């Protein structure tokens, strides 16, 4: 048995040794992006698969050179983009293993991905260890750049604090007399954070409000009978909710017949993507957000029309939801940084005729930028996206900042429309550098330390 | 202590794995590392299965081990890897010693469900604890080993080597235990508890002891995994995680202490390549593997090594 074991071990060693022989250094012919998103589990339907469709559509369009200005260059920096898609399901432990696989076995140039905040928190230090440019496209927790500082990690969407702050501003603008506040949020990190931010914000902006109840059903509960009873019994002016996906749909279907929304104003901070699924079930005047100026809140532009057309072609006629906008932001963010780095290289190359090794110098200048050069160009970059201009201003230039918007629903001719849209500048809804979100809210939204 | 062929083989495999560390490509080292952490937990599952009981809640001890290690770093500011693994083992062992008083009375589905219930209680507690990051968890990093600071560029190899040492040591000691008088009771209990009692041995004490040992192994595995992955969250005690341990234990077979470690490696390798080559259907690949093993190798993968000798 001993010899057999040894033989197995040696065979394994031989296989790995052969398969890991270092590839010869070659001229770069494509850019390989590892793309991680939920392909299974509860988050795959509303977030993961739309994100994947958007990524595939965008990459195909960019590779064909069909991107609108300023993204007309083919692929990224002229090189075609290749996507390697990985499922985000399975928890942070598996995701860290798979991240190592993407970087070390698949040898991708960039990793774009992660919807779960826990996955982002776990991946960030590993990205730093493996020194691989990694862009988070959708996770929301402010903890990533508030608790850590990273060189190789970027997040091209704003963090979740602004959802609560802007929702409160919009609410108080429309209903200044609010007194009794309640909430229903899922009992997991995002639901808890969302409620805590909202509670802290409304207490800071309107002292004297009373929190009458906070319901925390478990994630994926599906039945909300007792929570709805508790909400009705507490007689709130406002119901705050960050429910999403099947949970939100189930809650709306169960709550609406009980007339709870006749008396209480409903605020759905992440409700916008579900409106088309709930025609007639969303009471008029419900305050909805899309976690940024995404979807109906995105101002009209060539980039937005391009994303909508690309996504519709890929999904069989559906409008892109906010994860699709986030994906566009991440891919275009990398493209913008890459091409900025390439242009800088060419711009600073020795002028023709002035040097001895003209050919070598020019070859060097026109070679794809190194990862370090891309990162330098990415930091504090400003680039265009389908949801507007993105400023990489927080987290020492690694965390995107954008304004956001909220609106109220109106049921018209069989579809739910969003009207009375108000935009909020990034400065009003995002903490300044170096201040944690909760401290900023409690400090009364000070712009300086 | 009995030094038989298998004990020597365990040590030899450990030495080979240690030597492979600097040679193998880094992705293979991280694959092996995860497999070793997993394998250590599954060693404990194997002991329970040999005793004739299946725990659907071993994620409890895996998670306790990881959180004990994580809290040493997070609040204790003592990120020493040896201390962390020690804390994981002790915490898991203590909790198991208490819960075992109740659990040792139950068998079959009742044992499985009760152990599942305890693991889900911990899950519920952790999800409600916002100061530990709720479902997002928090990051963990080991900075020293026995007081010696780990150089930044050698973290991976140190973490891997210690995983090899702990897994090998666990396998070696478990092998010794299984060959001892007390350890041999496991199979007897599985066959006929009444006879064991008539022989003069206490079934309850033996089940309790084996339960605590398996929990300590899960605690060590959890602490090693926490340091290896660098992040912990309540998912570690969620029921699919416990189910996965049962899955790997069945896949491996209970024939030898090599089985859980080898089975964990096979499982991790299949999962990793399935993620890569069939991102939409990786769960199906694992399911089909399980079905094939159950149909053609009811004794687990380990029966590949034993069957030929008998034939």
Nearest alpha carbon to residue A143 among A200, A110, A190, A188 = A190
* Candidate from B27, B229, B309 with C-beta closest to A122: B229
Q: What tokens were used for A275?
A: 């409106």
- Which pLDDT belongs to residue B38? 93
Q: Scan for tokens 């970027």, then name that residue.
A: A154
- Which pLDDT belongs to residue A22? 44
Question: How many CB atoms neighbour CB B307 within 10 A?
Answer: 11
Residue A117 has φ and ψ, to the nearest 5°, of -65, -35
Taking residues A15-33, report their average pLDDT. 62
- Which pLDDT belongs to residue A33? 95
- Tell me: pLDDT of B199 over 60: yes
Mean pLDDT, chain B, rounded, equals 89
Q: Which residues of A touch B309 (CB under 8 A)?
A: 1
- Which pLDDT belongs to residue B207? 92
Cβ A74 vs Cβ A65: under 8 Å: yes
Q: Do B137 and A98 touch (CB under 8 A)?
A: no
- Which pLDDT belongs to residue A179? 92
Q: Which residues of A touch B13 (CB under 8 A)?
A: 5, 9
Touching check for B106 and chain A: CB below 8 Å? no
Identify the band that residue A406 occupies on the pLDDT scale cut at 50, 70 and 90.
very high
Mutation for A interface: B11, B236, B279, B308, most A CBs within 10 A: B279
Distance of CA A142 to the CA centre of its chain: 12
Identify the band that residue A20 occupies on the pLDDT scale cut at 50, 70 and 90.
very low
Q: pLDDT (tens digit, 9 = 90+) per residue, B79-100?
A: 888 889 999 999 999 999 999 9
Q: pLDDT (tens digit, 9 = 90+) per residue, A285-300?
A: 999 999 889 988 999 9
- β partners of residue A412: A415
Q: Scan for tokens 């030929």, then name that residue.
A: B308
Which of A235-239, A423-427, A445-449 has the weakest average pLDDT?
Answer: A445-449
Residue B187 has φ and ψ, to the nearest 5°, of -65, -35
- Which pLDDT belongs to residue A25? 46
Q: How far is CA A322 from CA A139, A196, A310, B108, in A?
A: 12, 23, 15, 48
Nearest alpha carbon to residue A182 among A163, A210, A203 = A210
Q: pLDDT (tens digit, 9 = 90+) per residue, B254-277?
A: 888 888 999 999 999 999 889 888
Touching check for B129 and chain A: CB below 8 Å? no
Q: What tokens were used for A8?
A: 């197995």
Q: What tokens were used for A355?
A: 């040097």
Q: Do B134 and A192 touch (CB under 8 A)?
A: yes
Distance between CA atoms of A133 and A140, rounded to whole angstroms? 19
Q: Dmax of chain A from CA atoms?
A: 84
Straight-line distance from the first to the last Cα atom of chain A, in angstroms, rounded to the nearest whole number: 68
Identify the band that residue B298 occupies on the pLDDT scale cut at 50, 70 and 90.
confident
Taking residues A318-346, report their average pLDDT. 92
| Of A139 and A20, the one with more pLDDT | A139
Domains of chain A by range and CATH?
30-159+299-401 (3.40.50.2300), 161-290+403-442 (3.40.50.2300)
- Which pLDDT belongs to residue B42? 95
Mutation for B interface: A38, A100, A159, most B CBs within 10 A: A100
Q: pLDDT (tens digit, 9 = 90+) per residue, A192-241?
A: 889 999 999 999 998 889 999 999 998 888 899 999 999 999 999 999 99
- What is the ipTM metric for this complex? 0.88
Report B:225-244 residues touching A (Cβ under 8 A). 225, 229-233, 235-236, 238, 241
Shortest distance between the Cα of A7 and any Cα of chain B, in A, equals 12
Taking residues A362-372, report their average pLDDT. 85
Residue A77 has φ and ψ, to the nearest 5°, of 60, 30
Q: Do A87 and B280 touch (CB under 8 A)?
A: yes
Q: pLDDT (tens digit, 9 = 90+) per residue, A83-92?
A: 999 999 988 8
* Candidate from B27, B233, B283 with C-beta closest to A100: B27
- Which pLDDT belongs to residue A6? 53
- Which pLDDT belongs to residue B308? 55
Distance between CA atoms of A43 and A63, rounded to whole angstroms? 28
Taking residues A305-328, report their average pLDDT. 92
Q: pLDDT (tens digit, 9 = 90+) per residue, B117-152?
A: 999 999 999 988 888 888 888 888 888 888 888 888
- Tell me: pLDDT of B225 over 90: yes
Q: pLDDT (tens digit, 9 = 90+) per residue, A56-95?
A: 999 999 999 999 989 999 999 999 999 999 999 988 888 9
- Tell me: pLDDT of A356 over 80: no
Which of A14-23, A209-218, B132-141, B239-248 has the weakest average pLDDT?
Answer: A14-23
- Tell me: pLDDT of A328 over 60: yes
Percent of chain A exceeding pLDDT 90 equals 54
Shortest distance between the Cα of B276 and any Cα of chain A, in A, equals 7
Mean pLDDT, chain A, rounded, equals 87
């Amino acid at each position: 048995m001993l010899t057999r074991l040894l033989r197995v071990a040696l065979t394994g060693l031989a296989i790995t040794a052969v398969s890991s022989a270092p590839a010869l250094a070659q001229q770069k012919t494509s850019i390989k992006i590892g793309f991680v998103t939920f392909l299974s589990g509860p988050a795959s339907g509303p977030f993961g698969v739309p994100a994947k469709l958007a990524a595939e559509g965008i990459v195909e369009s960019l590779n064909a050179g069909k991107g609108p200005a300023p993204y007309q260059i083919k692929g990224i920096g002229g090189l075609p983009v290749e996507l390697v898609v990985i499922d985000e399901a399975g928890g942070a432990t598996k995701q860290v293993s798979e991240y190592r696989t993407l970087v070390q076995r698949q040898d991708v140039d960039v990793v774009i991905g992660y919807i779960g905040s826990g996955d982002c928190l776990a991946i960030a230090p590993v990205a730093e260890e493996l020194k691989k440019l990694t862009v988070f496209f959708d996770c929301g927790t402010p903890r990533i750049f508030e608790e850590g500082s990273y060189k190789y990690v970027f997040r091209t969407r704003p963090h979740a604090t602004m959802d609560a702050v802007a929702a409160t501003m919009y609410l108080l603008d429309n209903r200044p007399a609010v007194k009794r506040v309640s909430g229903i949020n899922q009992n997991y990190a995002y639901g808890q954070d969302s409620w805590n931010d909202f509670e802290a914000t409304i207490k800071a902006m309107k002292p004297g409000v009373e929190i009458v109840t906070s319901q925390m059903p478990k994630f994926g509960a599906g039945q909300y009978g007792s929570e709805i009873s508790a909400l009705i019994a507490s007689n709130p002016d406002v119901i705050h909710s960050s429910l999403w996906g099947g949970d939100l749909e189930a809650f709306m279907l169960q709550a609406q017949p009980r007339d709870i929304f006749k008396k209480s104003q409903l605020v759905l901070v992440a409700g916008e993507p579900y409106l088309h699924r709930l025609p007639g079930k969303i009471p008029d005047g419900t305050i909805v957000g899309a976690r940024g100026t995404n979807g109906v809140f995105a101002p009209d532009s060539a980039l937005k029309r391009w994303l909508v057309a690309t996504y519709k072609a890929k999904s069989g006629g559906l409008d892109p939801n906010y994860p699709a906008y986030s994906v566009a932001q991440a891919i275009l963010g990398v493209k913008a940084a890459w091409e900025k780095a390439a242009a800088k290289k060419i711009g600073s190359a020795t002028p023709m005729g002035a040097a001895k090794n003209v050919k070598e110098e020019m070859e060097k200048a026109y070679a794809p930028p190194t990862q370090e050069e891309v990162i330098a160009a990415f930091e504090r970059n400003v680039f265009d996206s389908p949801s507007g201009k993105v400023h990489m201003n927080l987290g020492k230039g690694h965390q995107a900042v954008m304004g956001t918007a909220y609106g109220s629903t109106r049921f018209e001719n069989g579809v739910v429309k969003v009207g009375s849209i108000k935009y909020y500048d990034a400065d009003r809804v995002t903490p300044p550098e170096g201040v944690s979100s909760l401290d900023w809210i409690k400090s009364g939204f000070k712009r300086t330390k | 202590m009995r030094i038989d062929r298998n004990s020597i083989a365990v040590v030899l495999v450990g030495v080979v794995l240690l030597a492979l560390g600097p040679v193998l490509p880094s992705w293979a080292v991280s694959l092996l590392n995860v497999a070793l952490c997993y394998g250590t937990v599954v060693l404990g599952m194997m002991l329970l299965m040999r005793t004739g009981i299946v725990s659907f809640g071993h994620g409890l001890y895996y998670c306790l081990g990881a959180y004990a290690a994580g809290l040493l770093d997070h609040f204790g500011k003592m990120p020493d890897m040896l201390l962390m693994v020690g804390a994981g083992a002790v915490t898991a062992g203590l909790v198991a010693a208490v819960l075992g008083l109740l659990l040792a009375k139950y068998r079959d589905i009742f044992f499985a469900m009760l152990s599942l219930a305890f693991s889900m209680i911990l899950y519920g507690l952790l999800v409600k604890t916002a100061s530990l990051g709720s479902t997002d968890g928090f990051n963990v990093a080991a900075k020293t080993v026995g007081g010696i600071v780990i150089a930044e560029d050698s973290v991976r190899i140190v973490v891997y080597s210690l995983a090899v040492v702990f897994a090998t040591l666990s396998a070696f000691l478990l092998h010794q235990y299984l060959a001892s008088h007390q350890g041999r009771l496991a199979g007897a209990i599985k066959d006929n508890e009444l006879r064991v009692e008539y022989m003069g041995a206490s079934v309850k004490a033996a089940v309790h002891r084996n339960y605590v040992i398996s929990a300590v192994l899960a605690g060590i595995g959890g602490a090693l995994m926490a340091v290896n992955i660098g992040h912990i969250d309540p998912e570690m005690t969620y029921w699919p995680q416990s189910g996965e341990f049962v899955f790997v234990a069945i896949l491996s077979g209970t024939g030898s202490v090599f089985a859980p470690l080898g089975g964990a490696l096979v499982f991790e390798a299949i999962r990793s390549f399935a993620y890569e080559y069939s991102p939409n259907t990786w769960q199906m690949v694992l399911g089909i593997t399980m079905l094939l093993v159950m149909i053609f190798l009811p004794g687990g993968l380990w029966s590949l090594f034993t069957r030929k000798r008998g034939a």
